[in-house]
């Protein structure tokens, strides 16, 4: 059996594992596939394959990526893809040697998220005209997005069955289709009640499953909601390019500023790793320093 054919089969099996067992999305799988195809290609240029590559060969691949001006973040993802492949091969008993065991990932600087202040959030949420069907729907979407800290894909992906108005909870499906329950709060719940009682029944097709629909009766799309939030942020006089994800960032930061536990925020956001959530502690720490300087007698 050709070693090259082995590599192709190994990669296909690993990608199937990521898709079926790990539940990763199509775009993530495509990114991994691209990284691994490039890995095999760069190894071939050095006269070896994933089966016989050593530390020197892998280091040479990484040097080539750096010379090709691949960013540190892209190099880190590339290395993660390759590490995952070798870990899978070891678990399946297909390969025992791991040439990446001594290779470290490049250090990444964490970019702080763009945020809205509390005042900006309040202005944005108040912007829709609740005297019109469209304004009622848009108010319900904005309130839900901020109250539950959802991703825009989670918001537009909500179905009627994901909403429990009696308990005030919404079931969000995050990355890898992982389900989590998030409280809505009274304001978002009340906005949803008005929307469901006065608007959705007028617009939705009889068999429509999405919670949020357009005037044509189809489900709201991510692109459609991006336009909505852009229009209302401009109308509210917010001099920033506001994105749906900024409300998610603001949700997390405002919770921490209010004293919420980091683990609770991690659960609400649906982060599998608390290190992802910890970026918000830097923003919250800035807020605490401002408060200390303002109110502590020796803080100035």
| Complete DSSP assignment for 130-149 | TTSHHHHHHHHHHHHHHHHT
Euclidean distance between CA atoms 155 and 241, whole angstroms = 20
Residue 283's pLDDT is 56
Q: CATH fold of 3-91, please?
A: DNA polymerase; domain 1 (1.10.150)
Output the six-digit token pair for 210: 């999405």
Q: What is the pLDDT of residue 1?
A: 31
**Record: fold of 118-294:** hpI Integrase; Chain A (1.10.443)
Catalytic: which of 19, 123, 134, 245? 245
The active-site residue out of 32, 88, 232, 280 is: 280
287 is catalytic: no
Who contacts 157 (Cβ-Cβ below 8 Å, separation ≥6)?
A: 173, 210
**Active-site residue identified among 38, 77, 137, 151:** 151
CB 54 within 8 A of CB 89: no
* Catalytic-role residue among 19, 46, 175, 180: 175
At 6 the pLDDT is: 79
pLDDT at residue 288, as a whole number = 45
pLDDT per 10-residue tile (average), the chain, 300 residues = 66 91 85 92 90 84 77 80 90 85 60 82 96 98 95 94 94 84 94 97 90 94 95 94 91 86 86 74 54 49
Here the tokens at position 185 are 């709060």
Residue 128, CB half-sphere, CA atoms under 13 Å: how many? Answer: 21
Taking the C-alpha atoms of residue 176 and residue 155, their distance in angstroms, rounded to an integer, is 16
Q: Is 0.85 surpassed by the pTM of this model?
A: no
> Is 245 known to be catalytic?
yes
Tell me if 231 sits within 8 A of 183, measured CB to CB: no
Domain ranges of the chain: 3-91, 118-294
Residue 78: predicted pLDDT = 87
With beta carbons less than 8 A apart as the criterion, state whether 8 and 50 touch: no
Sequence-distant (≥ 6) Cβ neighbours of residue 39 within 8 angstroms: 50, 61, 78, 81, 82, 85
Residue with tokens 């091969």: 89
Residue 137's pLDDT is 98
Q: Is 249 among the catalytic positions?
A: no
Please pick, among 77, 248, 249, 254, the residue that the annotation labels catalytic.
Answer: 248
Is 292 catalytic? The answer is: no
């Amino acid at each position: 059996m050709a070693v090259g054919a082995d590599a192709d089969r190994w990669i296909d099996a690993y990608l199937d594992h990521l898709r079926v067992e790990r539940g990763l999305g199509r775009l993530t799988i495509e990114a991994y596939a691209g990284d691994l195809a490039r890995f095999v290609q760069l190894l071939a240029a050095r006269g070896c394959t994933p089966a016989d590559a050593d530390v020197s060969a892998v280091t040479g691949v990484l040097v080539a990526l750096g010379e090709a001006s691949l960013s540190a973040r892209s190099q880190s993802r590339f290395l993660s893809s390759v590490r995952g492949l070798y870990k899978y091969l070891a678990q399946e008993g297909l390969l025992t040697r791991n040439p990446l065991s001594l290779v470290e990932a490049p250090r990444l600087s964490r970019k702080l998220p763009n945020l809205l202040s509390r005042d900006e959030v309040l202005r944005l949420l108040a912007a829709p005209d609740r005297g019109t069907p469209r304004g009622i729907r848009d108010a319900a979407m904005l309130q839900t997005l901020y109250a539950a800290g959802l991703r825009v894909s989670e918001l537009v992906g909500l179905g009627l069955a994901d909403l429990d108005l009696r308990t005030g909870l919404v079931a969000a499906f995050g990355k890898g289709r992982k389900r989590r329950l998030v409280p809505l709060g009274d304001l978002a719940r009340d906005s949803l009640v008005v929307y469901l009682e006065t608007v959705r029944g007028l617009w939705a097709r009889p068999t429509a499953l999405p919670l949020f629909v357009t005037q044509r009766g189809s489900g709201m799309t991510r692109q459609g909601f991006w336009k909505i939030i852009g229009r209302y942020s401009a109308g509210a006089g917010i001099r920033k390019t506001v994105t749906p994800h900024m409300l998610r960032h603001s949700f997390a930061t405002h919770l921490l500023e209010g004293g919420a536990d980091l683990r609770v925020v991690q659960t609400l956001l649906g982060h599998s790793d608390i290190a992802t959530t910890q970026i918000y502690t830097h923003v919250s720490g800035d807020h605490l320093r401002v408060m200390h300087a303002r109110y502590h007698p020796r803080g100035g």
